[in-house]
Amino acid sequence: QAFQDSWKQACSSSQDVIIEVPTGKSYLVRPLSFLGPCQSQITVEIGGDIIASVNISDYAKVSSWLHFDGLDHLVVQGGGTIDGRGSIWWNGSCRYNRSHPCTNAPTALLFGNCNNLNVNNLRIQNSQQIHVDFESCSAVSATYLTVTAP
């Protein structure tokens, strides 16, 4: 809830805002949507770790874990780690074990309908399915991204 509250406050601000995930801190989060349009330009500074919930029921009504949509001049950066903890999805996949039902695993990091987007200096690991997806975005700069999965 802290992330949603911070986003709501930042989005309604009349000044540019930095939302910080501090270095050395880890946050366990369920699926989140960060929706625009916003009055301010927002920078999400990820210095620490954002770690996905492994409760599959948390994802029952969503197709992504972290979803940014309808934003202009968003910056997501910082050197921290986004960990999708995907092994729970991989181990239960019908692709590898025919006795399991087929389910759609979420995209870890989805940017939709964003303009002038900068995504820089992040580690994305163990995504549930797709690591990063840019849908209907324009003027995107994605640099120094490290994607790791077994």
- Which pLDDT score is estimated for 93? 77
CATH number for position 109: 2.160.20.10
Determine the Cα–Cα distance for residues 59 and 30; give it in Å rounded to an integer: 8
pLDDT in single tens digits along all 150 residues of the chain? 899 999 999 999 999 999 999 999 999 999 999 999 999 999 999 999 999 999 999 999 999 999 999 999 999 999 999 999 999 998 877 777 777 777 789 999 999 999 999 999 999 999 999 999 999 999 999 999 999 987
150 prior amide bond cis, ω within 30: no
DSSP letter string over the chain? -HHHHHHHHHHH-SS-EEEEE-TT-EEEE--EEEE---SS-EEEEE-SEEEE---GGGGTT-SEEEEEES-BS-EEESS-EEE--THHHHHT-TTT-TTSPP-PPPEEEEEES-EEEEEEEEEEES-SS-SEEEES-EEEEEEEEEEE--
Domain enclosing residue 105, as ranges: 2-148
Determine the Cα–Cα distance for residues 109 and 74; give it in Å rounded to an integer: 14
- Which pLDDT score is estimated for 104? 84
- Which pLDDT score is estimated for 141? 99
Domains in the chain, number: 1
